[in-house]
Amino acid sequence: MEIEKGKTYKYLREKREVSQAAKDNLKQFIKIKKSILDALQESDLTIEQLTQKLNMPANEVVYYLMSLVKYGFVQTGAVDDMDAYFSYKLKK
Amino acid sequence: MHGKIMNASFDALVIGGGIAGGEAALNLANNGFKVLIVEKDLSIGGKMILLSKVFPTLDCSACITTPKVSEISRHPGITIFTGSEVKSISRKSETSFEAVVIKTPRYVIGEDCTGCQLCEQACPVLVHDQFQYNLVGRKAAYIPFSIASPRVAAIDIENCTLCGACEKVCPTKCIDFTQEEEEYCIDVKTVIIATGFNLFDPLKIPRYGYGTYKNIITSMQMERQLAPTRPFNTILRPGDGKVPDRIAYVLCTGSRDMTVGNPICSQICCMYSIKQAQLLMGALPMADVTIYYINIRSFGKGFEEFYDQAKGMGVNFVKGKIGKITENENGNLNLRYEDINENVVRESEHDLVVLSVGVLPNTDSKALFHDGDLKLDPFSFVDQADPLASPSKTSIDGVFVAGTATGPMDIPDSILSAGASSAEAISYLNRRL
């Protein structure tokens, strides 16, 4: 096949099958990202509040939320009175 | 799946682009020799480039490593293969070796990549970031880390869904999914093994609960949390995002422990834990930090003073061997330990536990040599044939060893070892040229 610069992914698609695990991982991330961003749309939340709202294990919320902070979707807000938990908000 | 097989020749092959391999390569290149560094990771700099600060001076690790890796990368006498592995080395003649090197595709044309990270932003995939020790995610199209050298994107093809988003946004059209694995046959006159060390995997001690209890982390994960390029905005428990205020260090995790097959001291854990404790007291002034130890080994220049400084800052040192760690409902951890001074068993509660994991040998280099037997010492580090008179000499003539490939040591000793190794390699080359 003719390989067009800027569209070489089509070439590899012909030669290599994307694994089911990679597809499942992408689906899961899209779903979790949407649920976190939707929850933060309503108000700033702590990890504990997000955990309850999304019914997800707290360690998974930390992982995904911090990844969304890293990629600029979410930003860290204020810390609570006990200096224990930060709140998180959408990056506008 | 091989692309082309290419031939090349160099005076020296340095296996490993960490601080020892980089230093050895620089010394050789500064003396006019042509050097190839083969690094299996996507960046040179080894483990040092990922550290927060170094002990006992508390100098910024990246500030020392970055100029060094930049000098290595720009040196006209040094060629670097990242994402590559030496597959085999065989003696070709009395004065030369043939090395087979496999270069895995990065799927990015390095020379054209500007490191703009637009591909990373466009990539929809999120997987664990191995350079942040899995504390956060990274994309399948990614720059390994912000101070990586080369600062060139790479595609994690195992996790890539081939959606093409990265290619569509790349301003220089440098993403190239047609790249294939390349095999190189390389003639070299001498070899330096600088393959570094592996960190102990604490999953091998189930009673410590690492992996099960999410608020138990390794010292390398804490190192990342303390680094300027840290995964979180501050120090947080990965289990629930709480700012910890009672932190425990468990020294000798996987060192001096026959039950896990590693009877020797890792030499660096006491001091890096004391360093981290001091940094934590700076980052979290209200936190209590306790270090559980068997013996504190502060043997180097300025180490004892550094230990005293930590005690003066309020770090609590408990001579105790941890038996078991269990988790409370609130995610806090109970440490059951033998108080060695009092001869009693005690329990204490902490909200974050850091396992100070030890140094294990990287035995990969053993299998590389087809003709000569590369001897390992009783602990599986590369054996030093003549440790007093010629500390870099191995069991194979013309093959030298540098840094922690010979055994556990700290950064200054690794650099000294690399200096010795390059000096011996230069002497060897001069005798044979």
- Judged by a CB distance cut-off of 8 A, whether residue B168 touches chain A is yes
Q: Report how far apart, in Å, the C-alpha atoms of B155 and of each of B93, B139, B140, B148 are.
A: 39, 9, 6, 15
My answer on whether B44 and B156 are in the same domain is no
Write the residue in B125, B139, B242 that is nearest to A85 by C-beta.
B242
Residues B375 and B349 in one domain: no
State the best of A19, A35, A59, A65 to mutate against chain B, taking most chain B CBs within 10 Å: A59
Question: Which of A11, A59, A79 has its CB closest to that of B239?
Answer: A59
Q: Which of B206, B211, B215 is nearest to B329 (CA)?
A: B215
Radius of gyration for chain B, computed over Cα atoms and rounded to the nearest angstrom: 23
Check whether residue B330 and residue B374 sit in a common domain.
no
**Section A85-90 average pLDDT:** 97
Give the angle subtended at the CA of A62 by the CAs of A56 and A66, to the nearest 5°: 135
Specify the CATH number for the domain of residue A83: 1.10.10.10
Last residue within a domain, chosen from B359, B388, B409: B359
Considering CB atoms only, which of B125, B167, B233 is closest to A9?
A: B167
Which residue, among A11, A20, A26, A32, would best test binding to B if mutated, counting the most B CBs under 10 Å from its CB?
Answer: A26
Q: Is B121 on the interface with A (CB under 8 A)?
A: yes
List of chain B residues whose C-beta atoms are within 8 Å of the C-beta of residue A30: 124
Q: How far apart are CA B119 and CA B428, in angstroms?
A: 46
**Do the Cβ atoms of B135 and A66 come within 8 Å?**
yes
Could you say which of B328, B359, B390 is where a domain stops? B359
Is the same domain home to B350 and B382? no
Last residue of a domain, one of B141, B175, B209: B175
The letter for the amino acid at B210 is: Y
Q: How confident is the model at residue B255, as a pLDDT? A: 96
Helix/strand/coil for A42: helix
The domain in which residue B337 lies consists of 200-359
Yes or no, beta carbons of B240 and A5 under 8 Å apart? no
Whole-number Å distance between alpha carbons of B277 and B87: 41
Of residues B137, B160, B175, nearest to A63 (C-beta): B137
Assess if residue A39 is contained within a domain.
no
Output the CA–CA distances (angstroms, integers) from residue B114 to A30, A70, B62, B152, B167, in the order listed.
28, 20, 21, 7, 14
Do B313 and B165 belong to one domain?
A: no
Residues B256 and B208 in one domain: yes
Task: Note which residues in 278-297 of chain B have CB less than 8 A from chain A.
Answer: 286
* Per-residue model confidence as pLDDT tens for chain B (433 residues): 455 668 899 999 999 999 999 999 999 999 999 999 999 999 999 999 999 999 999 999 999 999 999 999 999 999 999 999 999 999 999 899 999 999 999 999 999 999 999 999 999 999 999 999 999 999 999 999 999 999 999 999 999 999 999 999 999 999 999 999 999 999 999 999 999 999 999 999 999 999 999 999 999 999 999 999 999 989 999 999 999 999 999 999 999 999 999 999 999 999 999 999 999 999 999 999 999 999 999 999 999 999 999 999 999 999 999 999 999 999 999 999 999 999 999 999 999 999 999 999 999 998 999 877 899 999 999 999 999 999 999 999 999 999 999 999 999 999 999 999 999 999 999 998 7
Q: Please report residues of B whose CB lies closer than 8 A to that of A58.
A: 214, 239-241, 331
Pairing of strands B181-193, B96-103: antiparallel
Query: Which of chain A's residues have a Cβ under 8 Å away from the Cβ of B120?
Result: 71
Closest residue, chain A, to B229 (C-alpha): A70
Is B171 an 8 Å CB contact of chain A? no
How many structural domains comprise chain A? 1
CA-based nearest distance A42→chain B, Å: 21
ipTM: 0.96
When pLDDT is cut at 50, 70 and 90, the band that residue A3 belongs to is: confident
CA distance B420 to B129: 35
Band of pLDDT at residue A6, cut at 50, 70 and 90: confident
At B24 the three-state DSSP class reads helix
Task: Say if residue B367 is in the same domain as residue B321.
Answer: no
Owning domain of residue A63 = 44-92
Which among B107, B136, B225 is the top mutation candidate for probing chain A, defined by the most A β-carbons within 10 Å of its own β-carbon?
B136
pLDDT for A32-87, tens place per residue? Answer: 999 999 999 999 999 999 999 999 999 999 999 999 999 999 999 999 999 999 99
Please give, rounded to a whole number of angstroms, the shortest distance from the CA of A74 to a CA of chain B.
12
Residues B190 and B209 in one domain: no
Given the structure tokens 């309850």, which residue do they identify?
Answer: A52
B contacts of A26 (beta carbons < 8 Å): 124-125, 161
Position B58: which residue type?
A: L
State how beta strands B53-54 and B35-38 pair: unpaired
B382 and B343, same domain (yes or no): no
3-state secondary structure of B219: helix
**Can you give the CATH number for the domain in which B62 is found?**
3.50.50.60
Within a domain: residue A17?
A: no
Residue A24 lies in a domain: no
Q: With the C-alpha atoms ordered B293, B297, B303, B309, is the resulting torsion angle positive or negative?
A: positive
d(CA B275, CA B53): 8
Strand partners, B137: B128
Number of domains making up chain B? 3
Residues B368 and B348 in one domain: no
Tokens of B158: 């195992």
pLDDT for res B1: 44
A63 is a domain residue: yes
Same domain, B10 and B32: yes
Closest listed residue to residue B89, CA positions, set B393, B405, B365: B365
Which residue, among B119, B126, B159, would best test binding to A if mutated, counting the most A CBs under 10 Å from its CB? B126
To the nearest whole angstrom, how far is the Cα of A44 from the nearest Cα of chain B?
A: 15
Nearest CA in chain A to B135: A63
Q: Is residue A58 part of a domain?
A: yes
* A69: nearest CB among B167, B173, B233: B233
* Domain shared by B297 and B372, yes or no: no
Place of tokens 């700012």: B243
Q: How many CA atoms lie within 13 A of A72 on its CB side?
A: 6
Tokens representing B96? Answer: 């030369």
Residues 6+ apart with CB under 8 A from A62: A47, B236, B237, B238, B239, B240, B241
Residue A67: inside a domain: yes
Query: What pLDDT is recorded for position B63?
Result: 93
Q: Which pLDDT tens digit goes with each residue over A20-40?
A: 999 999 999 999 999 999 999
3-state secondary structure of B377: coil
